[in-house]
Structure 1
Amino acid sequence: MVRLGGQPWLRVLIGTAVWCGLESLWSAGPLWWSSLAYTQSPHNLVIVHLGQLSGPNTVTAAIVAINGLIAEGWTNRQDTKYAKISSASLAAWRFVNKYWVIATGLLITLHLIGFILYSRPIAQPPEAALKVGIIQGNIPNRLLRSSEGFRRAQENYTTGYLTLADQGVDAVLTPEGALPIFQRNLLGTALVAAVKEKGVVAWIGAFGDRGDSYTISLFTFDSEGEIVSRYDKSKLVPLGEYIPFEEIFGGLVQRLSPLEAHQVPGSANQIFDTPFGRAIASICYESAFPEQFRRQAAAGGQFILSSSNDAHYRASMPFQHHAQDIMRAIETDRWSARATNTGYSAFLDPHGRTLWISGYNTYETHAETIYRRQTQTLYVRWGDWLTPLLLIFSGGFWLFVKVKAEN
């Protein structure tokens, strides 16, 4: 057995690799939400830009490595008593050692790298401009599926659409489930009638048909009021939107449930083409899954459309959701428009800067110009290459130390 007590560098390396590996493993499952990296969003956009290199695990690795070095410095702080310095100087140098010096150097170096990425100018060619309006309907979920809630949804979103259309927007984005009805019933709504009248593209959140089941979907209505594309939410909230291990318990659930239909996820490899080019689509919980955005960016997605409904929660959770979308905008180097039911709706630039953010539990409309981009960050091209590299290096060094100790 190899003891790592005398191998502090290897301890830090293995700890960083294992932490990133566990986060990768956890994020591959259905119960993922927070990463250590999100402690830096939105208040440290410079270090968050490391996500452009290898995704959020780059930021996580930086945090774990620096804190690991600080911990090693603390456990080895007694080394100074062997230094040949006067007792008067001992107190001043007691808490200074090589681990803290390296941790400080690493902290500064990583922030410099992030600052270089953060400082790059963002091209805004006029031909790539897209003026998008968002509507925050502010309809409590307890009302949304009632007749009164549907009436208010029709009124709020139709009025908001007409207001934004008169402001000269190119398209309007609505939240997840803005109209709580099925695709087959959308064409008869006042909102779609307004789309036909004004000729402004609309992305409308509603339910999609999928055989005997249904999906949470975002539909693109073109200037003629016709559906030209559809994106189905592929990451569903466990227990809230689906039953885990349904293939095992599905029969029992069906017998206990009074509903004939149930919610199903969309496919994992969807693309979302719009009249303005390919978009990166995200519906609510999917903001927590960077691979969803990376794949769509690699497939040609030029801007982000995030449609959510966080009305179930207190204001702190929607702010976390906003922080997630900031990470996704930075990692993919894309502009982002985010529409929610009750907040926080927002517009973001590719550096994660919030151009505008709504109030909470308010009805609002807002228009902002975003720009379509076709750049590809290292993360978009290669995915999370850092985590397997850390695991390989730490495993290799551990094996080297083991062999050396046995000889």
Structure 2
Amino acid sequence: MGLTTAPVGAWFFAWIALAPLWVLVVEERKKLEVKEQKKRKFFLLPLLWGISYHGVALFWITGIHPMTWLGVPWLASLAIAFFCWTFITLWGAALVTTWAICQAWINRNSKSALIRVLIGTALWCGLESLWGSGSLWWTSLSFTQSPHNLAILHLGQISGPNTVTAAIVAINGLIAEAFINRKERQEKTNSTSSSISSAPGRFLLHAGYLGIAAGIFVGLHLIGFGLYSRPLLQPPEAALKVGIIQGNIPNKIKFDRAGWERAIEGYTSGYKALAPEVDAVIIPETALPFVWNQPERVGSSFYSAIKENGVVAWVGGFGKQGNNLTNSLFTITGKGDIFSQYDKVKLVPLGEYIPFEQFLGKIIDKLSPLDAQLIHGKQNQIFNTPFGRAIIGICYDSAFPELFRHQAAAGGQFILTASNDAHYTSTMMGQHHAQDLMRAIETDRWAVRATNTGFSGVIDPHGRTQWISRMNTYEIHAHTIYRRQTETLYVRWGDWLTPILLVLSGISWFIFNRR
């Protein structure tokens, strides 16, 4: 399952990679019932599967090392990187282990394979919703299909990413139940003399589960392909030409005087080059590392270029709230005024804020290059621009679909994301692009990505990448996108599928146990 994401991108493995764990959970549960197995071995199975998936997919996190540019010693930096990777891997593995325990307990008396599949699917979706509501989330099972399987990703327009997750879990469950049934029938046949009479029934039931799995797989892809094939209406009056500047400023010099000057010069020259041909220009997350709503911005050449050329700029910088800072994106009008501000909602734990700061602050406060504490933006922000309302995501926000859904439901007509992945490898950049691609499909919106070192890009509402930058290069690009006001079922109703699956599971379990 870990190979499904970048850099390998073997998305097709997701449709079979959970089945072995499903088989092991069911078989180990049966051994526990006859007291042939110790419980700790049962816990070990899903834990190892979860470590394998999340650990492989999230290994790019170790790219934060070395942090010597922050004043962290080399060995301490290595220890911090290893701790971050281990912690988030185990956090993902905890989801898998919780699922296995609940699946085993709820289905301890169930003989119905289809009810096990229903309950297992509902449980996984419910747990992903729970984990996704917190501060650590990236590797939903639905994420395994991005950016390659665009047809199935369009199911996200129905009820969000959990629609894709449900499809993956259900098909894996049916494949696993077919194997379990075949094995049980074989064991029964070997222990009796009725091999000839029982063989046809065994084959039909085994083939039936596989047939259902194949039917669901094909049917869902056809539904997704139908959504994917709908033409995009692109009236000229909805067109908006946006310029993107990828500054390519390494983090290790970003807060030095040399880095500051290089950033100002690069973004200023890029803005001047793009201004004659675009309606607006966007630059990456914290591209200009100073507090934009303070007087110091007035003396910058970038600010002067905006006033001279009169073209709107979306500027990544820091905002000020009392004694604290916000990681923000500003709309700056052609007159140099702040038109709107969006503050990053999902700050990176340890990187941008310190959880349980009263206990951990003195130990790991060197992780932040800022003198003040970054604070979270509000969940219900609205970002108006001179061209209509926009949907905003800053870096880590991209992993949380509800932030984008809320803004789309509030009238957002296009997506702007600003990120800085400078200290990571191409694996992380590819995965980040895949997250924004899913958000574009789910909300049926054009998305413009501005990153510091790659991969900046433009994505259409069907998830097709219209342009993508190279890595570790300075680039400018102009592209026409279209404002849209459509409402997908997901934008309108949110994740309605998961509660329905949970209710149906509860009803089925109750009826079966009563019988």
Task: Establish whether TM, by shorter chain, passes 0.5.
Answer: yes
Residue of structure 1 in register with 2:117 after alignment = 12
**How big is each residue's C-alpha offset from its partner over 1:265-294, in whole Å with a ceiling of 9 and x where there is no partner?**
111111000000000011000000000000
**How big is each residue's C-alpha offset from its partner over 1:347-388, in whole Å with a ceiling of 9 and x where there is no partner?**
000001000000001110011100000101000010001111
What is the distance in 2 between the residues matched to 1:135 and 1:42? 23
What is the distance in 1 between the residues matched to 2:283 and 2:455? 13
Asked if 2 retains the 8 angstrom alpha-carbon contact of 1:203 and 1:221, the reply is yes
Residue of structure 1 in register with 2:158 after alignment = 53
Residue 4 (structure 1) shift: 4.2
Q: Which amino acid aligns with 2:111?
A: G
> Relative to 1, partners in 2 of residues 1:47 and 1:274: Cα closer, same or farther, differing over 3 Å?
same
What is the distance in 1 between the residues matched to 2:498 and 2:331? 37
Structure 1 residue 101 corresponds to structure 2 residue 206? no
Residue 252 (structure 1) shift: 6.6
Choose between structure 1 and 2 for higher RCO, CA contacts under 8 A separated by at least 6 residues. Answer: 1
What is the distance in 1 between the residues matched to 2:252 and 2:370? 19
Query: What SS does the corresponding residue of 2:450 show, helix, strand or coil?
Result: strand
What is the distance in 1 between the residues matched to 2:161 and 2:464? 17
Residue of structure 2 in register with 1:157 after alignment = 267
Asked if 2 retains the 8 angstrom alpha-carbon contact of 1:4 and 1:11, the reply is no
Counterpart of 1:279 (choices 361, 386, 390) is 390
Residue of structure 1 in register with 2:307 after alignment = 196
Query: What SS does the corresponding residue of 2:328 show, helix, strand or coil?
Result: strand
Counterpart of 1:123 (choices 218, 223, 233) is 233
> Relative to 1, partners in 2 of residues 1:70 and 1:4: Cα closer, same or farther, differing over 3 Å?
farther
Q: Which amino acid aligns with 2:156?
A: G
Q: Which amino acid aligns with 2:151?
A: V
Identity fraction in percent: 63
Residue of structure 2 in register with 1:327 after alignment = 438
> Relative to 1, partners in 2 of residues 1:259 and 1:274: Cα closer, same or farther, differing over 3 Å?
closer
**How big is each residue's C-alpha offset from its partner over 1:183-211, in whole Å with a ceiling of 9 and x where there is no partner?**
21222211111111111110010100110
What is the distance in 2 between the residues matched to 1:380 and 1:213? 33
The Cα RMSD (Å) is 2.5
Q: Which amino acid aligns with 1:400?
A: I
> Relative to 1, partners in 2 of residues 1:67 and 1:344: Cα closer, same or farther, differing over 3 Å?
same
What is the distance in 2 between the residues matched to 1:267 and 1:61? 30
What is the distance in 2 between the residues matched to 1:191 and 1:367? 18
Residue 261 (structure 1) shift: 2.1
Asked if 1 retains the 8 angstrom alpha-carbon contact of 2:347 and 2:353, the reply is yes
Query: What SS does the corresponding residue of 1:355 show, helix, strand or coil?
Result: strand
> Relative to 1, partners in 2 of residues 1:2 and 1:204: Cα closer, same or farther, differing over 3 Å?
closer
Question: Which ranges of 4 or more aligned residues in structure 1 deviate by more than 3 Å?
Answer: 1-5, 78-87, 93-96, 248-260
Structure 1 residue 293 corresponds to structure 2 residue 404? yes
> Relative to 1, partners in 2 of residues 1:72 and 1:147: Cα closer, same or farther, differing over 3 Å?
same
> Relative to 1, partners in 2 of residues 1:386 and 1:258: Cα closer, same or farther, differing over 3 Å?
closer
What is the distance in 2 between the residues matched to 1:374 and 1:294? 13
Query: What SS does the corresponding residue of 2:299 show, helix, strand or coil?
Result: coil
Residue 3 (structure 1) shift: 3.6
What is the distance in 2 between the residues matched to 1:122 and 1:84? 58
**How big is each residue's C-alpha offset from its partner over 1:85-121, in whole Å with a ceiling of 9 and x where there is no partner?**
899x99xx69961000000000010001101110111
Residue of structure 1 in register with 2:467 after alignment = 356
Residue of structure 1 in register with 2:245 after alignment = 135
117-126 vs 182-191, which deviates more? 182-191
Asked if 2 retains the 8 angstrom alpha-carbon contact of 1:77 and 1:97, the reply is no
Counterpart of 1:170 (choices 269, 279, 287) is 279
Residue 7 (structure 1) shift: 0.9
> Relative to 1, partners in 2 of residues 1:99 and 1:165: Cα closer, same or farther, differing over 3 Å?
same
**5+ unaligned residues in a row in structure 1: which ranges?**
none
What is the distance in 1 between the residues matched to 2:281 and 2:133? 32
Asked if 1 retains the 8 angstrom alpha-carbon contact of 2:181 and 2:205, the reply is no
**How big is each residue's C-alpha offset from its partner over 1:119-155, in whole Å with a ceiling of 9 and x where there is no partner?**
1111100000000010000010001110000000001
248-257 vs 71-80, which deviates more? 248-257
**How big is each residue's C-alpha offset from its partner over 1:294-327, in whole Å with a ceiling of 9 and x where there is no partner?**
0000000000000000012111001000000000
Asked if 2 retains the 8 angstrom alpha-carbon contact of 1:271 and 1:296, the reply is yes
Residue of structure 1 in register with 2:485 after alignment = 374
Counterpart of 2:325 (choices 204, 214, 224) is 214
- Report how many residues are paired: 400
Query: What SS does the corresponding residue of 2:163 show, helix, strand or coil?
Result: helix
Asked if 2 retains the 8 angstrom alpha-carbon contact of 1:4 and 1:10, the reply is no
What is the distance in 2 between the residues matched to 1:255 and 1:109? 51
Residue of structure 1 in register with 2:290 after alignment = 181
Give the alignment's TM-score, normalised by structure 1.
0.93
> Relative to 1, partners in 2 of residues 1:255 and 1:361: Cα closer, same or farther, differing over 3 Å?
closer
Residue of structure 2 in register with 1:390 after alignment = 501
Q: Which amino acid aligns with 2:246?
A: Q
262-271 vs 334-343, which deviates more? 262-271
Please identify which structure carries the higher helix content.
2
Counterpart of 1:73 (choices 139, 155, 178) is 178
Residue 255 (structure 1) shift: 11
What is the distance in 1 between the residues matched to 2:364 and 2:223? 54
What is the distance in 2 between the residues matched to 1:131 and 1:97? 54
> Relative to 1, partners in 2 of residues 1:106 and 1:262: Cα closer, same or farther, differing over 3 Å?
same
> Relative to 1, partners in 2 of residues 1:4 and 1:371: Cα closer, same or farther, differing over 3 Å?
farther
Residue 245 (structure 1) shift: 3.0
Residue 76 (structure 1) shift: 1.2
**How big is each residue's C-alpha offset from its partner over 1:224-257, in whole Å with a ceiling of 9 and x where there is no partner?**
12111111111100111111134x5499789999
Query: What SS does the corresponding residue of 1:216 show, helix, strand or coil?
Result: strand
Query: What SS does the corresponding residue of 2:389 show, helix, strand or coil?
Result: strand
Residue of structure 2 in register with 1:239 after alignment = 350
